[in-house]
């Protein structure tokens, strides 16, 4: 089925696989923030408000490039109580109409926080124009989860201008990493047969199950992206968690039932995680042998944590898209979410 290009083109009517293949281009996009300037010394922390796919960039950025200042991701109507004139507040929504993010921005306004907006349009763009907030405009026409790297580039552009990122030349690093990503996604294209296509192989292995994705702290944002992609692309329940926290609670949850569970496990492993975290995977698999499904281990390619994050994110996109095709579904529409938003607004 996954090598039947006619079937793939019929099901993938909006060409989500093509979007995944070209996502490396998102990292080279240039965002113009105009003449915006800010007193760097006045900023004491950064709060990023976003939901769903629009929050992914902020989660990824906590692994790379990391920050000189406290950075919190807020996924709620309510903002942290410490937000003040010393907090850079970033409101991000791909559509620009996410109600939680709009409410959060309005709350930040009440605290007189300096505000930056990231969106493709919508009410957030209107508010940015009305109040003169710096505005990074995302290219329109995609699902938020498919625009995660646009959002990451926009976020890094903002924060590098403010001077709070720890990595040197972060924007330049993203541009260089786009070439790495271009090479690896070519390995997972639809025209690469299953016998040579890791993404298709993993999708077939996971088909008919609930995937559970585990990673260490550095790669956990990518594991969470896998969960989102399974949910929205494949319309498939999935879970994610991270080591070492896993060993303090969830670890025992696998021990009281037979191995025959409706789950499949994927471990996203990085040689750049803390050495003790790496050992935890080995010891966990030893002690849970016979109690949980044998994990599918994915060893990350890439010399830096940025490259490994991008590798993991892109591979998860392709796996979930192929899972959608195995489920007989078009991966792009999220009709039930749209219906939910409509009914919530009534």
Question: Strands 210-215 and 135-137, how do they pair?
Answer: unpaired
341 is catalytic: yes
User: Counting Cβ atoms within 10 Å, is residue 282 exposed (0-12), middle (13-18) or buried (19+)?
Assistant: exposed
| Rg of the chain over all Cα atoms, to the nearest angstrom | 20
**Active-site residue (options: 232, 267, 273, 307):** 232
**Active-site residue (options: 29, 261, 274, 341):** 341
**Do residues 322 and 2 lie in contact, with contact meaning Cβ atoms separated by under 8 Å?**
yes
Distance CA 147, CA 202 (A): 23
**Do residues 196 and 289 lie in contact, with contact meaning Cβ atoms separated by under 8 Å?**
no
**Active-site residue (options: 35, 248, 275, 286):** 248
145: closest CA among 336, 329, 342, 331? 331
248 is catalytic: yes
160 is catalytic: no
Distance CA 105, CA 298 (A): 39
Q: Residues for the chain: how many in total?
A: 346
Edge-to-edge order in the sheet of strand 210-215: 239-242, 210-215, 263-269, 296-299
Backbone phi and psi for residue 47, each to the nearest 5 degrees, phi listed first: -120, 130
84: closest CA among 110, 104, 103, 49? 110
Distance CA 63, CA 270 (A): 12
Instruction: Show which residues are catalytic.
Output: 232, 248, 341
């Amino acid at each position: 089925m996954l090598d039947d290009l006619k079937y793939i083109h019929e099901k993938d009517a909006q060409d989500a696989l093509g979007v995944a293949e070209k996502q490396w281009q998102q990292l080279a996009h240039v965002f113009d923030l105009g003449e915006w300037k800010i007193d760097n010394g006045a900023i004491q922390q950064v709060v990023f408000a976003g939901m769903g796919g629009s929050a992914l960039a902020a989660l990824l950025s906590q692994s790379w490039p990391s920050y000189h200042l406290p950075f919190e991701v807020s996924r709620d109507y309510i903002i942290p109580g410490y937000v003040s004139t010393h907090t850079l507040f970033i409101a991000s929504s791909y559509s620009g109409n996410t109600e939680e993010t709009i409410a959060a921005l309005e709350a930040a306004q009440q605290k007189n926080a300096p505000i930056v907006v990231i969106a493709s349009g919508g009410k957030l763009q209107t508010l940015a124009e009305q109040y003169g907030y710096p505005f990074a405009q995302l290219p329109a026409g995609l699902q938020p989860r498919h625009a995660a790297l646009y959002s990451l580039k926009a976020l890094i552009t903002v924060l590098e201008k403010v001077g709070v990122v720890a990595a040197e030349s972060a924007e330049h690093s993203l541009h260089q990493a786009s070439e790495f990503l271009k090479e690896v996604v070519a390995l997972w294209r639809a025209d690469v047969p299953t016998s040579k296509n890791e993404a298709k192989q993993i999708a077939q292995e996971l088909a008919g199950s609930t995937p559970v994705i585990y990673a260490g702290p550095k790669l956990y944002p990518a594991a969470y992206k896998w969960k989102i992609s399974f949910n929205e692309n494949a319309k498939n329940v999935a879970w994610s968690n991270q080591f070492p926290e896993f060993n303090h609670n969830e670890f025992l949850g696998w021990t009281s039932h037979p191995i025959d569970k409706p789950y499949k496990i994927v471990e996203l492993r990085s040689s750049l995680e803390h050495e003790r975290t790496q050992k935890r995977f080995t010891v966990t698999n030893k002690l849970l042998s016979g109690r949980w499904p044998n994990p599918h281990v994915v060893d990350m390619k890439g010399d830096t944590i940025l490259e490994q994050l991008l590798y993991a994110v892109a591979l998860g996109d392709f796996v979930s898209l192929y899972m959608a095709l195995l489920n007989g579904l078009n991966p792009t529409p999220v009709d039930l979410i749209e219906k939910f938003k409509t009914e919530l607004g009534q």
